[in-house]
Amino acid sequence: MAWVYLFVSGLLETVWAAALSQSRGFSRLGPSVLFGVALFLSMGGLALALRELPVGTAYAIWVGIGAVGTAVYGMVALGEPATTARLLCLLAIVAGVVGLKVLH
């Protein structure tokens, strides 16, 4: 179950990062509330995962999922550039996350 908590928490990191951007410095209520809720749930899920997983592995995977998810969101929803170099770098992060899971 720890891996499920970790994966969902990583996805929620993407949600809170996107909401933080949309809050425009906490000047918009809806995105600001979504940021707070997603942040709380993301940290809570990470805390639950850390009951069973080593902190180094869990944190690296959590950050990796959030970083890749946020970058993909930026490219798909916000029109950020999807260059070959950028996609290769994201692929390297995914490979690292998968490697950490496999080697656990």
Q: Which of 25-29, 34-38, 82-86, 97-101 has the lowest mean pLDDT?
A: 97-101
For helices 55-77 and 29-49, angle between their N-to-C axes, nearest 10 degrees? 150
pLDDT band at 60 (very low <50, low <70, confident <90, very high): very high
pLDDT tens track for 42-59: 999 999 999 999 999 999
Per-residue confidence (pLDDT) for residue 104, from 0 to 100: 83
Are 53 and 2 in contact by the 8 Å Cβ rule? The answer is yes
Tens-place pLDDT, residues 69-92? 999 999 999 999 999 999 999 999
Which of 2, 34, 21 lies closest to 78 in space, CA to CA?
21
Contact in structure between 12 and 63 (CB atoms under 8 Å): no
Per-residue pLDDT, 47: 98
Percent of the chain with pLDDT over 90: 96
- What SS3 class is residue 45? helix
Neighbour tally for 87: CB within 10 Å = 13
